[in-house]
Amino acid sequence: MIGDGDVVGVPWCDNCKYYCTFAPVKIVRTSILPFRGFSAVNLLGVLFVHHGVYISNELMNHERIHTAQQREMLFVFFYLAYFMEWLVRLPMRGNAYRNISFEREAYANQRNLDYLHSRPHYAWRRYMRRASYKR
């Protein structure tokens, strides 16, 4: 379990019963990132977390799903698509951030710690047309 402190490494995996090397996230504790209202941000597979924020298995899994998405999109296309979808969803009903298909996939599967072992490539595409979050 990853608690407080400057931890660098990959998360525990319930499937591997070891530190999983699939879609790892390096943890960097900083007071600069992420911006207000967010608990963590994943930039190029590096997870920036504020000091004192508890990193649960769920949060790790959420961020590792993002790493998997980033890898299959060769990183640059992930950020382009992420930003463009956010722009498109801004004037729409509901929370634009939560309705980005990358976020929908991550939120929908973060509790399933084995998800990354069975996840099909480009699984986020299936979330583009799902019912939106109204908050």
Binding site for Zn ion (CB under 5 A): 103, 106
Please give the C-alpha separations between residue 6 and each of 3, 22, 23, 47, in angstroms, as whole numbers: 9, 21, 20, 12
Cβ proximity to Zn ion, 10 vs 101, nearer residue: 101
> Which of 22, 98 has the CB closer to Zn ion?
98
Q: Minimum Å distance from CB 10 to Zn ion? A: 18
Specify the residue, 17 or 88, whose C-beta has the smaller distance to Zn ion: 88
Give the residue at shortest CB distance from Zn ion: 106
Please state the closest distance from residue 62 (CB atom) to Zn ion, in A. 5
**C-alpha to C-alpha distance for 78 and 60, rounded to whole angstroms:** 19
CB of 66 to Zn ion, least distance (A): 6
Residue number with CB closer to Zn ion (49 or 106): 106
Rounded distance between C-alpha atoms, residue 116 and residue 33, angstroms: 26
- Residue 94 main-chain phi, psi, to 5 deg: 90, 180
